[in-house]
Amino acid sequence: MLSHHISKLLRRSYSRAISNCRDFTSTNVETDPTKRDPAPFFFNKEIQQCLETLTTLDYNKVFRTRKDGYKQKPPEFKFLTDEELEEARKAAQYRAKKYLQMPPVVKERLEPSEPLCEDPALQDHDTVKYVFTDITYGLKDRQRSIVVREPGGTLRHAFWKERDRMIQTFLPKPERKLQKPKMFEDEYMKDLLNRNEYEFILDRACVQFEPDDPDYKAITREVYEHINAERHFDVLRSTRHFGPMVFHLVWTSNIDNLLYEMIETNRIEDAALLIRLYHMIHPTTKSAVEQCEHTDDVDFIMHYVRLESLKKDKIQKLLQSYKELQREREIVAEGIKQAHGISSENVNINK
Amino acid sequence: MPRLPLHCSSGTGVISPFSKAIRLARYGCTNRPFYHIVVIDVKKGERKPPIEQVGVYDPIPNMHNEKLVSFNFERIQHWIAKGAQVSTPVADLLGLAGFLPVHPRTYMRAWRNRRTVEKCS
């Protein structure tokens, strides 16, 4: 009976510690705009939709040969009816969507601060810490209570580092290492970044860390910044990390390079969507407050570039050249149509 | 010494009508103790198959200077409710974990340690 009550108390106090942390974060949001929580924005349905569209599903890239240790199946050739083909396509679409599931972007976790109880009579009961892990079946990792008894007699919740270590010790996850792999250290990271192994780094980080781990945040930030500086967006496009990268760039208001690249590769619709995403996340910026009268994508981008972009001249020039190119293309297309004698309008005019 | 038979970590599940105890069973090898916390009949020997294993205890500190203990609190609660006895070392650990009240022996050990430290200094 007693034990039952105490364990209940333990669990409740643990949940209270977590809720305290939450309270702390919520007060932080109001006072400090730079440290606001990205999770409600990231999980917003519209924003998710935007990020998915920006990722651009490319089947060749999604179903490329992956060096992930699984045995590859040889390709099969089949005769299919139309319905079967439709079904197979749908199955492939489903699988592709699974491959492109984005890792979440959430706020950094906070250490539990308050000790559970302090007992000065237990001073020097041992020279080392005791770490107690609850291995009850069927609990989620976040619900597991892990407590530490210090040599000084204090009982406290384990720090996140200790928690991760204990959970990996007693309930190991495949491919996750107990210690941080060497490749995430600075010198090796630099080498990997210079070799453009972005996806490898990000995949490994996803496996190794929880999404709210400060280490994960630092590593992903470094990779995204490097990609942004080198403009290697195409490496990540159509992988699961493109969405979070776009979100990070928008979150830090640093989308000029991405915008430039999108216009350069004739993705005007994507570029407009990117700016709409920017307005959704930063609704108080100049270009979001001053509504654009034009409905055309190019004008919409122009409107943003004029008001906010740091690289105005470059992007404006690029947009101008894009417009001219588009006009020329139209002329050529019309010419071809005329040559084929397809165009109905021209025929009418000629008459 | 012959190699100890390692029983199924969930235990044999064979429950006798006799009274039970939650206690430590020494596994590991020479000079390297390692304990399983098991539920077993009071009168059975240490090496006999347990009814259930409810945790482990590693008495040698690891590289981070920690002794690792794990408990399946749900099952321990169940067995204590059924009237299983708890041996002193296990009660000691459960007391340190905050599951049971701190065992008097822990207080005694702390007090003795403090006394020796004072004497030495």
* Size of chain B, expressed as the number of residues it contains: 121
Q: Is residue B10 part of a domain?
A: no
Q: How far apart are CA A154 and CA A119, in angstroms?
A: 6
**B74 contacts chain A (CB < 8 A):** yes
Q: How far apart are CA A240 and CA A242, in angstroms?
A: 6
The range of the structural domain enclosing residue A142 comes to: 115-158
Q: Is residue B13 part of a domain?
A: no
**Which residues in chain B have Cβ-Cβ distances shorter than 8 Å to A124?**
110, 113-114, 117
Q: Is residue A3 part of a domain?
A: no
**From the CB of residue A91, how many other CB atoms can be counted at a distance below 10 Å?**
10
Q: Is residue A108 part of a domain?
A: no
Tell me whether residues A132 and B69 touch, CB distance under 8 A.
yes
Q: Pick B65's closest partner by Cβ from A7, A128, A155.
A: A128
Distance of CA B21 to the CA centre of its chain: 11
> Parallel, antiparallel, or unpaired for β A154-157 and B52-58?
unpaired
The number of distinct structural domains making up chain A is 1
pLDDT score recorded for residue A1: 43
Containing H/E element for A67? none
Q: Strand pairing partners for A128? A: none
| CATH at B94 | 3.30.1320.10
Q: pLDDT tens, A99-151?
A: 999 999 999 998 888 899 999 999 999 999 999 999 999 999 999 999 999 99
Q: Is residue B109 part of a domain?
A: yes
Q: How far apart are CA A283 and CA A279, in angstroms?
A: 5
**B33 contacts chain A (CB < 8 A):** no
Taking CA–CA distances from B97, the nearest residue in chain A reads: A132
Q: Is residue A145 part of a domain?
A: yes
Containing H/E element for B119? helix B104-120
Interface of A with B in 273-292 (CB under 8 A): none
**Which of A297-306, B11-20, B98-107 has the highest mean predicted lDDT (pLDDT)?**
B98-107
Cα–Cα distances in angstroms (integers) from residue A256 to residues A137, A249, A304, in the given order: 50, 9, 11
Q: Helices in chain A by DSSP H: which ranges?
A: 2-31, 39-42, 45-55, 59-62, 82-99, 160-170, 186-194, 198-208, 214-230, 233-236, 242-251, 256-264, 268-281, 286-289, 297-307, 312-340, 344-350
pTM over 0.90: no
**Which residues in chain B have Cβ-Cβ distances shorter than 8 Å to A162?**
64, 66
Which residues have CB under 8 Å from A179's CB, separation 6+? none
The number of distinct structural domains making up chain B is 1
pLDDT score recorded for residue A34: 54
Torsion of CA B66, B71, B73, B79, to 10 degrees: -140
pLDDT score recorded for residue A14: 42
The range of the structural domain enclosing residue B86 comes to: 20-120
**Which residues in chain B have Cβ-Cβ distances shorter than 8 Å to A149?**
96-98
- Whether the predicted interface score ipTM is above 0.90: yes
Q: Over its length of 351 residues, how does chain A's per-residue pLDDT go in tens digits? A: 444 444 444 444 444 444 444 334 444 443 344 578 899 999 999 999 999 999 989 999 999 888 778 888 888 999 999 999 999 999 999 999 999 999 999 999 988 888 999 999 999 999 999 999 999 999 999 999 999 999 999 999 999 999 999 999 999 999 899 999 999 999 999 999 999 999 999 999 999 999 999 999 999 999 999 999 999 999 999 999 999 999 999 999 888 899 889 988 888 899 999 999 999 998 888 877 877 777 788 888 888 888 887 777 788 888 888 888 888 988 999 888 888 887 555 545 544
Tell me whether residues B98 and A117 touch, CB distance under 8 A.
yes
pLDDT score recorded for residue A24: 40
The yes-or-no verdict on residue B24 having pLDDT over 90 is yes
The yes-or-no verdict on residue B52 having pLDDT over 80 is yes
Place of tokens 């020329």: A328
Distance of CA B69 to the CA centre of its chain: 9
Place of tokens 């592709």: A96
- Angstroms from A287 CA to nearest CA on chain B: 53
Tell me whether residues B100 and A3 touch, CB distance under 8 A.
yes
Q: How far apart are the first and last CA of chain B?
A: 43
Q: Is residue A4 part of a domain?
A: no
Instruction: Name the strands in the sheet holding A146-149, side by side, starting at the edge strand that comes first in the sequence.
Output: A117-118, A154-157, A146-149, A129-134, B66-71, B52-58, B32-41, B20-29, B85-86
Which residues have CB under 8 Å from A202's CB, separation 6+? A220, A223, A241
Which residues have CB under 8 Å from B115's CB, separation 6+? none
Q: Is residue B80 part of a domain?
A: yes
Which candidate, A270, A269, A289, places its Cα nearest to that of A279?
A289
Q: Is residue B3 part of a domain?
A: no
Q: Is residue A130 part of a domain?
A: yes
Q: Is residue A285 part of a domain?
A: no
Q: Do residues A212 and A106 touch, judged by C-beta distance below 8 A?
A: yes
Radius of gyration of chain B (CA): 16
The DSSP line for A335-347 is: HHHHHHT--HHHH
pLDDT score recorded for residue A26: 40
Q: Is residue B33 part of a domain?
A: yes
Q: Is residue A190 part of a domain?
A: no
pLDDT score recorded for residue A308: 81
Tell me whether residues B66 and A132 touch, CB distance under 8 A.
no
